Amino acid sequence: MNSDVLITGIKRAVKYLREKKKFLDNINVFPVEDNDTGDNLFETLNQAIKEIKDTSPHFLKKFAEKTFFTARGNSGLIISQFFSGFLGELDGKNKIDPEIFVKAFETGRKRAYDAVSKPLEGTILTAIKETEKALKKSLSKGDGFVDTLKFSLKNGEEAVLRTKEMLQELREKNVPDAGAYGFYYIFKGIVECYETYGDRGDNRKGKS
Amino acid sequence: MKIVTDESTIIPEEFSEYVEIIPLRLTCGKRDYTGAGHNEILRAIEEGKYFKTGMPSPAIFLEVYRKYKNDKVISVHVSSKISGVINSAITASKMARKEGIDVVVVDSKSAGPACGIGIMRGIRYYESKKRTTIQKVAKVIAESAQKSYAVMAVPESHRLIKIRPIEGLKRFFKNPDYFVKFLRSRGGFPVLALIGEGIHIIEFAREKSKALEYMINFLKEKTKNKRISIMYFYSTEKRFIYDLEELIENDFEIKNKWIARMTPVTLSAVGRYAFGFSFYIDE
């Protein structure tokens, strides 16, 4: 993987959030039923990406920095901090091998947990944590990069669905956490781009 | 020392020397009302508009902390159980500290009116001490806010149903006790008690006089005639405060008294004619 593929992946993530934001809004019942998590996640990333030129050097770092300004709601704040750690470590790298990717993901996860006064499981934090666990597990088995990403995406989605049982508000409505599901779509965008483009990242920025 | 808070907090203007209030994000459909004044919000309310609040981004907090880089900053916010604003402040404060800015973030573990009392007591404590630290002032603020109570009448309560911070009301029909009270009042408006992080309905009242009675009873029950410091607050009608003052100041010993107008964001949530008071028992 390289930075260009990651940029394309983030664009695809934004596209997914645009498509899924109504769905995410509808299942947003925790901590309160204010039905705006999809919109908050989408706007946090979309506003940030709109402000950076495709050809801008250090696109990833700039994108992460912009989300600090555009963060909306708790989920937006958490994803902003995740990207600050994750992309901060990957920015400018011509080659991102699986070990570097997982290490950066870990930094992102730590920043995400640090962003809230009382980190709570059953939320977007759980989706990030469980995805990271799966990344590490797959990597330790010696899987290839694509397989590692696909395995962690699948495990991440299962963790998202398990959030239904983790918080009373979600149990009552029988829905997974909207922020957690939002993270799944963001990660899905990145994983799919790597599946599509592999290490051929040149001139892919405009595509999603 | 500078205290940074956000628009959820209710605090009298006379403390503005010490306090900077960061506006919450306020929208109505596609229109952005962030930072709008009372008159603009009032006009929108009269046009039947409903608002949605959102927390400011950490970048906004960081910008304000940077402004006071030569001061010691205490950033005080309503409970994390009521609003996510404190998370934005915490994130910004970590970055500020890396830049050498001295910021302490306080979760008041209370709602806006009690948070205001906590801040005022913190300022008075700071003024009374020749030598103190912001950690000590922050402790006074947190303890005072948590020990404060507030009571509020909300005649335009239909607005609360749509506003996030007081979403508990949305569930009131699930609570048989509230439902009985509501029916007994023949469709009155709620008189709310804000205790710590919780918001409870004391009773429903159809007339202002009845609301005043419930509020005074709550005050009597909580203070047992001990000396209090009190902050009256209102959304649009200051004259309602005069009625409260008359009733309270005849029967209670008051150490400190303040009057505050609710912030535009609070007005957008509770609507017109809302009024109440927060108080602290002075041991």
Paired sense of beta strands B2-6 and B19-22, if any: parallel
Interface of A with B in 55-114 (CB under 8 A): 68-74, 77, 80-81, 114
Residue B265 has what pLDDT? 95
Residue indicated by tokens 């628009």: B7
Q: How does residue A204 score in pLDDT terms, banded at 50, 70 and 90?
A: very low
List CB contacts (< 8 A) between B88 and chain A: 71, 77
| CATH no. of B2-145 | 3.40.50.10170
| Token digits of residue B247 | 């009733």
Distance to chain B for A89, nearest Cα, Å:
17
| Token digits of residue B21 | 């209030």
Residue B165 has what pLDDT? 45
Contact with chain A for residue B229, Cβ under 8 A = no
Residues A15, A41 contacting (CB under 8 angstroms): no
Of A31, A33, A115, the CB nearest to B91: A115
Q: Which residue has the higher pLDDT, B186 or A205?
A: B186
List CB contacts (< 8 A) between A115 and chain B: 87, 90-91
Contact with chain A for residue B161, Cβ under 8 A = no
Tell me which architecture the domain covering B149-281 has in CATH. Answer: 2-Layer Sandwich (3.30)
List CB contacts (< 8 A) between B94 and chain A: 114
Residue A198 has what pLDDT? 77
Contact with chain A for residue B164, Cβ under 8 A = yes
Q: Give the domain ranges of chain B.
A: 2-145, 149-281
Residue B172 has what pLDDT? 60
Residue A92 has what pLDDT? 81
Of A36, A71, A117, the CB nearest to B58: A71
pLDDT in tens, chain B (283 residues): 999 999 999 999 999 999 999 999 999 988 999 999 999 999 999 999 999 899 999 999 999 999 999 999 999 999 888 888 999 999 999 999 999 999 999 999 998 899 999 999 999 999 999 789 999 999 999 999 999 999 999 998 777 766 554 455 555 656 677 767 777 777 789 899 999 888 888 999 999 999 999 999 999 999 987 899 999 999 999 999 999 999 999 889 999 999 999 999 999 999 999 999 999 998 7
Over residues A40-56, the pLDDT tens digits come to 999 999 999 999 887 77
Interface of A with B in 165-204 (CB under 8 A): none
Residues A120, A150 contacting (CB under 8 angstroms): no
**DSSP state letters, A53-101:** -TT-TTHHHHHHHHHHHH--HHHHHHHHHHHHHHHHHHTT-S---HHHH
Q: Which helix (H) or strand (E) holds A24?
A: helix A3-27
Alpha-carbon gap, residue A87 to B56, rounded angstroms: 23
Residue B44 has what pLDDT? 96
Interface of A with B in 29-58 (CB under 8 A): 31-34, 36, 40
Q: Nearest-CA neighbor of B74 among B14, B145, B20, B111?
A: B20
Alpha-carbon gap, residue A98 to A139, rounded angstroms: 7
- SS3 category, A20: helix
Of B25, B59, B167, the CB nearest to A68: B59
Residue contacts between A and B (CB atoms, under 8 Å): 55
First to last CA, chain A: 16
pLDDT of A32 > 80? The answer is no
Residue B174 has what pLDDT? 62
Residue B217 has what pLDDT? 95
How many other CB atoms are there within 10 angstroms of residue B135's CB atom?
A: 10
Go through the domains of chain A in sequence order and give each one's CATH number: 3-197 (1.25.40.340)
What number is the ipTM of this complex? 0.84
